[in-house]
Amino acid sequence: MKTKVLIVDDSAVVRNLLSSILSKDPSIEVIGTAPDPYIARDKIVKYHPDVITLDVEMPRMDGITFLKKLMKHFPIPVVIVSSLTPKGAITTMKAFEAGAVEVIAKPEMDITKGLEIVSARIIEKVKIAATAKVKKRDARKEAVDKRRQPLTTKALAQSTNKIVAIGASTGGTEAIREVLISMPANSPGIVIVQHMPEKFTKMFAKRLNEQCAMDVKEAREGDGVYPGVVLIAPGNHHMVLKRSGARYYVKLNQNPPVFHQRPSVDVLFESVATYTGANSVGVIMTGMGADGAGGLLKMKEAGAKTIAQDEKSSIVFGMPKEAIKLGAAQKVISLSDIPQAILSSCR
């Protein structure tokens, strides 16, 4: 059965290009396009799409408002099609918080040339989104969740040499947020790879920093990994952990993608296994594919504590599943239990 896609974008050029690109794949059927959310709403009711691609910067009704209404009444996997501007990045982060599962970056270059170049990636992201589990969202519950206080914990001074490494992909932006808002300010240093296009990771880190007790930032070359600090790998760069004496720090590179990803979870996890041994905790979360599974196994073999998100709480149970199949995960637990498990593993 084909994946039915509805394209929502106020630009006729983008609608036509996306329709042309997606129609090239025999497993995808573009069941319609819409220039604004009002027309999209009617087509959703009529055609029941499996996936929606959505431009969040539109007239008549902005994409975030539409997305919130959609998740309340018709929860459907949504792929955001966003510009690479700072405003576009901010809006994309809000879209993830409202329930979107993936993002496609509109290239800065000539749009026709750019979208054709990334057509394979667009098709891949739509297919991944089609596998995502999207549930109805209660706005009141969301508001309570965002006010959640960090876990109270005993002093973690004895564990300042611990490093926590987290990897995620589809559905990971909200899963990572849920973990980090529960972490106290004195938590061990955390390094994170979230599969995300270049220029979006900086805004992702900024949004998290506004919501978390820990200091969250996009990693730069040579940044130290200290208690209370979270480093997010920048898009289009691998991030590796290094050690100099008692000091941990990160280095960035643009070596070839691993599992078609840069940054790659495997690259991070393998470096953590090499330089921290048993002084680390590895966490693999929601996402499609196998990136991170082998690296988590290397962390476990080096003596680290390892955790995988369970199927029920994962938007896409791909990366955790592959890690579990390899025997890399010592614990398989719900997303809501991961923060406490990390803190317990660091004592």
Q: How far is CA 47 from the centre of its chain?
A: 29
Active-site residue 169, yes or no? yes
143 band by pLDDT with thresholds 50, 70 and 90: very low
Give CATH superfamily name and number for 3-139: Response regulator (3.40.50.2300)
pLDDT tens profile 8-39 = 999 998 899 899 999 999 999 999 999 999 99
pLDDT tens profile 232-288 = 999 999 999 999 988 999 999 999 999 999 999 999 999 999 999 999 999 999 999
Same fold, 3-139 and 153-345: yes
Give the pLDDT of residue 119. Answer: 82
Candidates 223, 266, 291, 310; catalytic one? 291
- Select from 234, 215, 343, 233 the least CA-distant residue to 283: 343
Candidates 55, 159, 187, 195; catalytic one? 195
Give CATH superfamily name and number for 153-345: Methylesterase CheB, C-terminal domain (3.40.50.180)
Active-site residue 195, yes or no? yes
CB-based contacts of 23, cutoff 8 Å, min separation 6 = 29, 30
Candidates 169, 264, 280, 345; catalytic one? 169
Active-site residue 291, yes or no? yes
Instruction: Report domain extents, the chain.
Output: 3-139, 153-345
Query: Which tokens sit at 215?
Result: 């200091």
pLDDT tens profile 167-201 = 999 999 999 999 999 999 999 999 999 999 888 99
pTM over 0.85: yes
- Asked if 181 and 147 count as a contact pair (C-beta separation under 8 A), the reply is no
